Structure 1
Amino acid sequence: MSKKVIVIGAGIAGLATAARLLSKGYQVVILEKNEHIGGKVASLSSNGFKFDLTASILMNPQNYKRLFEDLGKKHQDYFTLQRIEPNYRVFYDDKTHLDFSTELSDLLKNLETVSLKDAHGYLKFLSHGYNKYLFANKTFFQKKQQQISDSFSPLSLAIALKLRPQTSSYSYISKYIQSPKIKEFLTFQAFFTGLSPFKGPCVHSLLSVIPQAYGLWYIPGGMHSFVKALEKVVKELGGIIETDAEVKEILVAKGKAIGVKTEKSITKGDLVICSGEYGYATQNIVPPSPKLPKIDSLDYSCSAYVLYLGINKKLPQLAVHNFYLGEDFKQNIDCVFKGRLPLSPSLYIYCPSALDKTMAPQESEALNVVVRVPNLKSKPSWGDRTIRLLEHRVLKNLKKINGLADIDKHIVYKSCTQPKDFETVFNCYKGAAFGISPTVTQTNYLRPHFKSPSVDNLYFVGDSLHPGVGVSMVLLSSKHVVDELETQNTTN
């Protein structure tokens, strides 16, 4: 008889892991806390406007396709991919903007308007960064990193040194680029993981290399369409998804996980995989044990504030993915890690309706405006006053973009997600939107492991595990945890 696996959480990690297990013959039931699936990749709809709740940048499309290939399925039967052009449109405080195209000839023309020297430096940065990405992907991202030899063998150490972990993303980028406009664009992308680009290891600068090498992509209907694709394949394979079923306790007998308890029922199983946030899970639903890491001693990422805007006119000046890089760029990033709100925040502006007419009513736009903010270990109270203050600062900078000076007069829908929501809705420890911070001492083998150190038959998966944050990385995490589970079962 096949083993029964209980998966906690129906986000990307939980759904992808469940699908992989089902394809290998396991019985799987997924228990989801909320009334909807998707976790942080859920969707929001109102008056014809549709918003991806958080994740919106689709890079590394090969990881999305590979999941379905591993299931013996054709990904085209579940979702389609459209290439985005340009990758990013970047607006600056001086009213200028630059398009960062995947077409090198177009890109170079744009960069040369800023600096001939930096156009050459950008090409060198891409060339060297691409080689580093190939090394990192093959040696670290694509491997489980559950044995000390995975990260600390002579070969792994030699490759790690090539990645220059002691150098910050900003310092590494500054070797190639002098122009603040180009340098800040590259630096801002290294901020995607919720770690300071001025302190975090320069491997995160590869986040600006990957889109240039492989492009950025879009799934019609937004990122939540991928969640629906996962839901479809899970159900086709015989999986069960129960919503409104928050797990309150992982049941343990004789040192082994034997099931879970919700407010409504007890579900028994042979294995438990928790895709919920690692810090929350180990403090709240896993039995206490000295073998577990001290969660408060770990470094956590910053959080995010996401402002959702329904606009009753078209904004042709916006691409799908846009940045506004404001004044005092470094200061407004540093303050986030000192517990203060940015005075003049740089913005990531997601406008899917620029490409996809289904995301907004006719002659309208749906915008996500995203700002990195302190997590809840810091001082901001996140009451109504704080939220109004930050909204004012965001709109003030949004209005500096040419053609958006009167955008506040065209807002017909408005809501937000803030750190308290990440904590209460998604169980993110201290509202840290990107999980455990990917510092040098919290990466690869040094990150929490898939197999619980204190309870047999209990596993973890998600963005606080290896290889880290982002949908494409979480899809790799789902592969790694199933491989680890299969290895442990074979050994035992």
Structure 2
Amino acid sequence: MSQGKSNVIHKDQSKIAVIGSGFAGMAASAVLAKNGSDVTIFEKNATIGGRARSFESQGFVFDMGPSWYWMPDVYESYFNLFGKTTSDFYDLKKLDPGFAVVFGQNEVIDIPADFDSICSLFESIETGSGSKLRKFIEEGEFKYRVGMGDMVYKPSHSITEFLDLKLFRDALKIQLFSSFSDHVRKYFKDPRLLAIIEFPVLFLGAMPKDTPALYSLMNFAGLKQGTFYPMGGFGKVADAFRKISEDCGVRFQTSNRVESLEISSGAISHIHVNGETIATDGVIGSADYEHIENSLLPESFRSYDKDYWESRTFAPSCLLFYLGVSKKIDKLRHHNLFFDEDFEQHAVEIYKQKKWPTNPLFYVCCPSKTDPSVAPEGSENIFVLMPIAIGLSETEEIKEEYYDTLMARLEKFAGEDIRSHVVYKRSYSVSNFVNDYNAYKGNAYGLANTLMQTAVFKPKMRSKKVDNLYYAGQLTVPGPGVPPSIISGRIAAHELIKFLNKKP
């Protein structure tokens, strides 16, 4: 059943404040409002969506953040909560090829939409790897069913949640304690195949050797389920979440910066927003966890100190360029991964040395290949992303230097001039993530998927010191990426509902 919009506030309704309008915040808000709470989302920026914001200029529509639509079942499950389905909001197209990996000017491997074709492709590169891929993905599918099923919807307050015998047995089967890098190398040897399998880890997580083999579930998602694209761009997905929230009665207050949280008797009694004091019964913190802790809460009510955050392993930040190009570029696919330099060196420079990369890998998204609505006729919409370490100092000179480096490699691959046809250009990097999202050291994706930052080892969803404060988003469970953020919002909302129901 769809939810009718209602602004009627009953006397016994709990007043809930949600900080941040990313996917986690919007998911939490709708679940809470559907349960009967009076919910307001406070968003510091002028537009909703968090990292999934979009903007328009000169006829180009740019998605600012997410561009890979994997795990479609997670979105569908969320929409189903409200009697809706994905197609009620946008047209989801399966990409073929799902993505392309560029190993050099004349070596491009297209990853087909059809899984049997992918197995044939692997076999053509390394004898025996076709059947090995089937077994590898079969294991990944089991991990996906367990990891994205029973386990991922647990709040991870305590290890006792996982002591159920079946879950414990499953935890061993899903290789939580094995290295992703070692696991992959039991199946494949060719460096091109290793790059195809390991790229999600570099872009979203940690060094492959530091990542649990559990995360081969992402390979199941990318290679077996496939890569999709919401026509109109990822902004359409954010719009869908906003509509569901508003239909449930949630109010959005944009350009409203939360300045502090007022504590009374161990719980948040009021939030201070743009100079106003607003009473509240509970808070979902879906903005950057570290920012809420260290900038909004009094010191004695913080769960984690600055040393804790300094000791965490973060997923990368990135240097982005949004480009409008006044011609078509024949050789580009929708998703293009440039692995024409050394994977290991770039990973070490991100995670260990924390320096600007020497010979970076990078990613180019060209949604105008699939969707004519995101660029003027005869033009291309291009999004160039280079993963980098968090906390780097940046200057316009550094950004321009990398722009020229990346574009020279892109032009070499394309076999044509692109830079002189760029009619719109905007860069985005570490300082922008800090300014726009209060992101700790400019992180783009949250905490890395290492063993000691998985499930109960992540920052707790429930504040250790404030009774009615729950966190959601990429710095708590389940982790980075859009589907985990959606799930995070759902869990946080249910946990806050349980708390409110216990109140006398």
1:94: how far off?
5.2
Tell me, in whole angstroms, the C-alpha distance in 1 between the residues paired with 2:347 and 2:412.
19
Aligned length: 488
- Aligned pairs for 1:452-467 within 5 A: 452-467=463-478
1:326 to 335, 340, 343: 340
* 2:419 aligned with 1:419: no
Q: Which amino acid aligns with 1:140?
A: M
Q: Name the structure 1 match of 2:331.
A: 317
Q: Answer yes or no: is the 8 Å Cα contact 1:259–1:272 preserved in 2.
A: no
* 2:128 aligned with 1:117: yes
Q: Name the structure 2 match of 1:134.
A: 145
Gap regions ≥5 residues in structure 1: none
1:311: how far off?
1.4
Q: Name the structure 2 match of 1:397.
A: 409
Q: Which amino acid aligns with 2:38?
A: Q
Q: Which amino acid aligns with 2:79?
A: F
Tell me, in whole angstroms, the C-alpha distance in 2 between the residues paired with 1:435 and 1:11.
13
Q: Name the structure 2 match of 1:381.
A: 393
1:282: how far off?
0.6
* 2:351 aligned with 1:340: no
Q: Answer yes or no: is the 8 Å Cα contact 2:210–2:451 preserved in 1.
A: no
* 2:365 aligned with 1:350: yes
Q: Name the structure 1 match of 2:104.
A: 93
* 2:489 aligned with 1:475: no
Change in 2 beyond 3 A, CA 1:369/1:278: same
Q: Answer yes or no: is the 8 Å Cα contact 2:301–2:466 preserved in 1.
A: no
Change in 2 beyond 3 A, CA 1:199/1:399: farther
Q: Answer yes or no: is the 8 Å Cα contact 1:303–1:372 preserved in 2.
A: yes
CA deviation profile, 1:175-218 (whole Å, cap 9, x unmatched): 11111111111111222323222322222232222122322221
* 2:310 aligned with 1:296: yes
SS in 2 for 1:235: helix
Tell me, in whole angstroms, the C-alpha distance in 1 between the residues paired with 2:216 and 2:404.
30
Tell me, in whole angstroms, the C-alpha distance in 2 between the residues paired with 1:158 and 1:77.
39
Q: Which amino acid aligns with 1:400?
A: K
Question: What percentage of residue pairs aligned between the two structures are identical?
Answer: 28
Tell me, in whole angstroms, the C-alpha distance in 1 between the residues paired with 2:161 and 2:412.
48
Q: Which amino acid aligns with 1:262?
A: V
- Aligned pairs for 1:116-265 within 5 A: 116-152=127-163, 154-265=165-276
1:290: how far off?
6.6
Tell me, in whole angstroms, the C-alpha distance in 2 between the residues paired with 1:77 and 1:103.
26
Q: Answer yes or no: is the 8 Å Cα contact 2:205–2:450 preserved in 1.
A: no
Tell me, in whole angstroms, the C-alpha distance in 2 between the residues paired with 1:77 and 1:10.
21
Q: Answer yes or no: is the 8 Å Cα contact 1:89–1:321 preserved in 2.
A: yes
1:452: how far off?
1.2
Q: Which moved more, 1:257-266 or 1:350-359?
A: 257-266
SS in 2 for 1:228: helix
Q: Which amino acid aligns with 2:373?
A: T
1:222: how far off?
0.6
Q: Answer yes or no: is the 8 Å Cα contact 2:272–2:278 preserved in 1.
A: yes
Gap regions ≥5 residues in structure 2: 1-11
Tell me, in whole angstroms, the C-alpha distance in 1 between the residues paired with 2:278 and 2:363.
42
Instruction: Give the structure-1-normalised TM-score.
Output: 0.94
Q: Answer yes or no: is the 8 Å Cα contact 2:60–2:374 preserved in 1.
A: yes
Q: Answer yes or no: is the 8 Å Cα contact 2:140–2:218 preserved in 1.
A: no
Tell me, in whole angstroms, the C-alpha distance in 2 between the residues paired with 1:155 and 1:298.
31
Q: Answer yes or no: is the 8 Å Cα contact 1:345–1:393 preserved in 2.
A: no
Q: Which amino acid aligns with 1:220?
A: M
- Aligned pairs for 1:250-289 within 5 A: 250-289=261-300
Q: Name the structure 2 match of 1:43.
A: 54
CA deviation profile, 1:82-112 (whole Å, cap 9, x unmatched): 2222211111125211111231333234333
Q: Which amino acid aligns with 2:401?
A: L
1:368: how far off?
1.0
Q: Which moved more, 1:409-418 or 1:120-129?
A: 120-129
Tell me, in whole angstroms, the C-alpha distance in 1 between the residues paired with 2:410 and 2:474.
30
1:125: how far off?
1.6
* 2:90 aligned with 1:82: no
Instruction: Give the structure-2-normalised TM-score.
Output: 0.92
1:481: how far off?
0.9
Change in 2 beyond 3 A, CA 1:264/1:491: closer
Q: Name the structure 1 match of 2:43.
A: 32
